[in-house]
Amino acid sequence: MTGLIVHGAPEGFDALLIARRRAETDAPVLHVCRDDARMARVVEALGFWAPGIEVLRFPAWDCLPYDRVSPNPEIVAERVATLTRLMEPARRGHPRVVVTTVNALVQKVPPRETFRGATMTLRKGGRVQPEKLVAFLEANGYGRTGTVMEHGEYAVRGGIIDLYPAGEPDPVRLDLFGDEIESLRRFDTGTQRSGKAALEELWLRPVGEVFLDEESRHRFRTGYVDLFGAAATEDPLYVSVSAGRKHPGMEHWAGLFHEQMETLLDYLPGGASVSLDHQAEDVLAARLEMIADHYEARRAPVRVNEAVASTLLLLAAGEGAFTWRVAAALALVAGGGWLAARAGRTEARAATPWRTSLQECKNIGRRPRHSPLNSLACRSKLKRTSNG
C-alpha cells in the first residue's frame, strides 16, 4: 500500500480512518500522535467511532532526556502493560489499535525476552504461597511499602496483601487463609477501604522497565565501571543499585541493565499498519534537537560524588533510547499517510556525541556496543554520504 496524505480533515476524522483501516486488516494498527494531548483525543474519538475495539496506549516518559528523576510510576506501568499485552495473541479477526506519540516511539524499551513468562494469574479460591508471591513482585519491579498508593507498590499485613498491578485502574486486596485466596477486591487509595464487588481473577505483570535482579545488577555494574572507571564505584547510583535498592533516575540507564534494547515496533507482528499525525516530522526534529542540547549540557565531567548526574544519562549507555531507523520511518510516512510496514528489528545504537568525523562514523561496525561513536549523528552522516 502506498502512502496517503489527507489534507483539511476535521478533528476526529483521523480516528475514523484508523477504525476503517482496522476493519480492513488482520494485523495491528499503530497510530503515532505528535504529543500526549493528541493521543488522548484520538483515543477518545476511537471510543466514539468504534467503541468495541481494543485500544492500547503507549505514552512517553514524563521526564526529559538525561534527567535525574524517574518517570511517573503510573506511566511506566501503562507502558509495560501495553508491551506485555502485545506479546499476547489477539483474538482472531479483532486486531488491536495501538496509539502512541513520537517521543514514545523513538524511545527504546526492554527486549521482549524480559517480559516473556513474567506474568502470574491469581484466582479466587486458588492457592498461592505468600513468599512466592512476594518473590514474584520483587523480581518484577514492585516495591514494598506500608500503604499502597501508586502503581508498582505492595504491602503485606499478615494474611492480607495489597498490591497495585500494571494496567489496573485501582489497587487490589488479596485476603488469604493460609495459601488459599479467599477474596480479590479493589480498594480505594484514599480511604483504604475495599469495594463490595469481588474479582474472579487478577493478572500480574511487571511494573518497571528496569529490574534489580542479580544478573541485571551485574550487567549494570560492569557497564558503569567501563564508562566511568573505578571511581564510579563511589557513586550513589552505583552503590544503591549494587545493594539492590532503587535510585532516582536509574531508569535512564536501562541500556546497562539489559543485554540489548528494542523498540515498540519490535513488539508488533509483520504487516502492521502505521499512520502519523500532522506535523509528526517537525516534532521528531524538535525532539532530536532537545536530546542533543541536554546531552551537551550533561557531558562535562563532574565530581565523583555527583557522578549520578553525569553525562550519558539516557543514551550513552550504548543501548540508548533513540533509533535512527525509527526516525527514518517517521520521515518516510510523515503527513498522516498509511504504511503497511513490517515491524522489523532495529539495530540502532545510542545518540551520544552528535559531532563526529566521517571516518569515525565509518568505523561504527568495529566499535564496542557501548562506544559513544555508535550514534545517530554517524548514521545520518553515512546516509548523506551514500546519497552523494
CA pair distance 167, 310, nearest whole angstrom: 33
pLDDT digits (tens, 9 = 90+) for 43-52: 999 999 999 8
> Please, what is the average pLDDT of the chain?
77
260 pLDDT tier (thresholds 50, 70, 90): very high
pLDDT at 3: 64
Cβ atoms of 106 and 240 within 8 Å: the answer is no
Question: DSSP letters along 181-246, please?
Answer: EEEEEEE-TTT-PEEEEEPSEEEE----SS--SHHHHHHHHHHHHHHH-GGGGGSHHHHHHHTT--
Largest CA distance in the chain: 72
* Residue 133 CB partners (closer than 8 Å, separation 6+): 120, 122, 161
pLDDT at 278: 87
Q: Which of 388, 294, 232 is nearest to 67 (CA)?
A: 294
- Determine the topology of domain 13-114+209-386 in CATH: Rossmann fold (3.40.50)
Buried b (16+ CB within 10 A) or exposed e, 373-388: bbbbbbbbbeeeeeee
Cβ atoms of 352 and 374 within 8 Å: the answer is yes
pLDDT at 196: 75
Q: Average of pLDDT values for 345-369?
A: 33
CATH number belonging to domain 120-204: 3.30.2060.10
Q: Is the pLDDT of residue 259 over 70?
A: yes
pLDDT digits (tens, 9 = 90+) for 1-40: 456 777 777 778 889 999 999 989 889 999 999 999 999 9
Q: Is the pLDDT of residue 382 over 90?
A: no
Task: Return the residue matching grid coordinates 499476547.
Answer: 88
**Residue ranges of domains in the chain:** 13-114+209-386, 120-204
Q: What cell does 2 get?
A: 502506498
pLDDT at 274: 93
Please work out, in degrees rounded to the nearest 5, the angle formed at the alpha carbon of residue 252 by the alpha carbons of 248 and 253.
100
Backbone angles phi, psi at 240, to 5 degrees: -65, -50
pLDDT at 295: 76
Gyration radius (Cα) of the chain, Å: 22
pLDDT digits (tens, 9 = 90+) for 304-335: 344 433 333 333 333 333 343 443 344 333 33
pLDDT digits (tens, 9 = 90+) for 148-186: 998 889 999 989 999 998 878 899 999 999 999 999 999
